[in-house]
Chains A and B, each alone.
Chain A
């Protein structure tokens, strides 16, 4: 158990509204990641973080922003939700050292109507 929680676990929102998803970890891991998972596409990286206030874009970052003001929290914001952002969102952490293994949270299912 890597001590990762995500909130909310489920959310339904309307097109055009802002949405923020939260990832919280309890073990002070430096590296954190946000992915989305869609049928036929697998897991695709949205944004990731090397540490507090240190973030970078992944392969599908358009329409998303992130913030990391504390080690334990990594927030993903959909600035103006669209139906194409309906997906399951996973947060992951990577312990320093090792072979780049990642440990995932339980996911947030987001539906944009």
Chain B
């Protein structure tokens, strides 16, 4: 059973377009993180959200945690080729472990 579902699995868009990817669960999380992974490398932490309804911005990336702390979204404005990668969400539920989603593979076409 996959606790965290990410959608879409694959997304390919033109440079300059906007996009949103989603991370959904039926479980409540104490915190949720987003990572980006490039080929041949480990995931790199982008952001952590901890409060229901919280919005964080990282340059052109906007992250939102759902009010009920069961879901999250990542919105990218004016996508650039450097945004290409695998985006992973991960939720923490009060113990020492994280549960990872299966990821959204994003390709930005120049």
Contact = CB atoms under 8 A, between A and B. Distances in A.
Interface residues on A, range: 20 to 34
Contacts, number: 59
Interface string A91-110: 01010001111111111000
A43 B43 contact: yes
A35 B31 CA distance: 20
Q: Interface on chain B toward A: helix, strand, loop, or mixed SS?
A: loop
Interface residues on B, range: 20 to 34
Nearest to A4: B42
Nearest to A105: B42
A105 B41 CA distance: 8
Interface of B: 2, 30-31, 33, 40-45, 48, 50, 88, 90, 92, 96-98, 100-103
